[in-house]
């Protein structure tokens, strides 16, 4: 595994685990721990990967492929952000989609 792939993994998992903590700290400071845990829980959206055959395929972009990573689902997550009770979940889901999208960009760049 070369340096670029290692860097891709570090960026990807940092965005999945650490960045939601920073978002929670900056935007939901009074309840940042709860917000961070909720945003981490939104990673359950990746359960839709279990519906794919094969379950894992290196280089496959999740966005637009898996049902909960579809453009329709992303539109729903965006609408959810307008409802205060759903806002933290929506931000977690949207940031998850952003993280997976940037991973798609990395993969397409590294596979050229």
| Helices and strands (H, E) in the chain, number of each type | 5, 0
> What is the structure's pLDDT at 58?
79
- Length of the chain measured in residues: 112
Q: Mean pLDDT, 10 residues at a time, over the chain (112 residues)?
A: 87 94 96 97 96 87 96 98 98 97 87 64
> What is the structure's pLDDT at 27?
95
The string over 4-32, giving b where at least 16 C-beta atoms fall within 10 Å of a residue's C-beta and e elsewhere, is eeeebeeebeebbeeebbebbeeebeeeb
Q: What is the CA radius of gyration of the chain?
A: 15
Q: Is the pTM of this model over 0.75?
A: yes
> What is the structure's pLDDT at 61?
92
> What is the structure's pLDDT at 112?
60
């Amino acid at each position: 595994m070369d340096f670029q792939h290692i860097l891709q993994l570090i960026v990807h998992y940092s965005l999945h685990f650490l960045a939601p903590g920073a978002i929670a700290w900056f935007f939901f400071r009074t309840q940042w721990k709860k917000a961070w845990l909720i945003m981490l829980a939104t990673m359950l959206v990746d359960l839709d990967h279990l519906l794919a055959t094969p379950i894992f395929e290196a280089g496959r972009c999740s966005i637009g492929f898996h049902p909960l990573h579809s453009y329709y689902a992303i539109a729903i997550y965006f609408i959810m952000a307008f409802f205060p009770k759903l806002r933290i979940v929506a931000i977690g889901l949207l940031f998850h989609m952003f993280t997976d999208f940037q991973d798609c960009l990395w993969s397409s760049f590294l596979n050229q």
